[in-house]
Amino acid sequence: MPLRTLSEVLAKAEVGGYGVGAFNVSDLNQAAAVMKAARSERSPVIVQAIAGMHPYEDEGWWWDRLRELVASYPDVEAALHLDHGRTFDDCVRAIDHGFTSVMIDASRRVEDDEPSTLEENIAATARVVEHAHARGVSVEGELGTIGGAEAGVSGTVEEIVFADPDAAADFVEHTGVDALAVAVGTSHGAVKFTTAEAGQRLRIPLIESIKARLPDTYLVLHGSSSIPADAVRTINAHGGRLDESYGVSTEQKQEGIAHGIRKINQGTDSHLTWTAAIREFLDAQRSVVEPSEAQGVAMRAMSGVVAQRMREFGSSGAGA
């Protein structure tokens, strides 16, 4: 089947009452791991990439190959999404390379990394929507400021600026976005919260209030990885130096889905799992020099955690 737009994938999720995982990938092996999980779980999936976050010299080449790989799974219902596009040009390039949806993150100004005004965010987002919709591409915007670090945006959990329901309604009315990432208590990056209690502070009533104002807009949860403790321990046991951290619990994410979240961004969990598998393998198999052996171990580990998230989000078995 052809690649789906974000709106097409999330429309089915809205009817079915489940969430769809959006998994960040930074090379072709990771993309293959995600697609393998989607096929095995018969789940819809959103594969997403961030401009500049890959090992390839030519980003256009990488994006073309990524689209080809995702499209090579005709039995999987998949969208190809640009995550955290910081500029209009980022989004235009992704559309030109066949992405079926783009996110314009105009919640912070590019020039100084400070939070944008609502008016600035609306103007930048509306420009992308006009360009993308004319080409049949879905658009995700962001309202409020999600803490942590993503795509070069540095911050801490204390810097979260929560989304306001009235501002959300105004934002959607004036931009026409298909999906909206809302700041409701999550945080980007591998170090999210320093206590388990902080990881339980997802503002469910705020999600419910925004959804009541925007019943036809698909809500998105960013910075919602769970930070698997076993992966962190494995990385540190084999030479890593990660601080202790707590993510968003599965139960909190499931409650968010029950109250209207439809797209759940997941990057840190799969990357931690990938790195843990490689570190453990190379430490145990010190004479191995064939890259495919370590890569294969990492791909299997990443597929496993992606499949687990699909089951937790309720999307397993919901694919075409």
Give the catalytic positions in this structure: 83
Closest CA to 46 of 16, 12, 17: 12
| Helical axes 59-71 vs 28-41, angle rounded to 10° | 20
Identify whether the C-beta of residue 161 lies closer than 8 Å to the C-beta of residue 125: no
Closest CA to 146 of 134, 160, 135: 160
Contacts of 66 (CB under 8 A, 6+ apart): 25, 28, 31, 47, 49, 80
Identify whether the C-beta of residue 104 lies closer than 8 Å to the C-beta of residue 141: yes
The CB-side HSE value for 15 (13 A sphere, CA atoms) comes to: 6
Residue 201 DSSP symbol: -
Residue 262 backbone dihedrals phi, psi, to 5 degrees = -120, -25
Identify whether the C-beta of residue 105 lies closer than 8 Å to the C-beta of residue 152: no
Residue 46 backbone dihedrals phi, psi, to 5 degrees = -120, 115
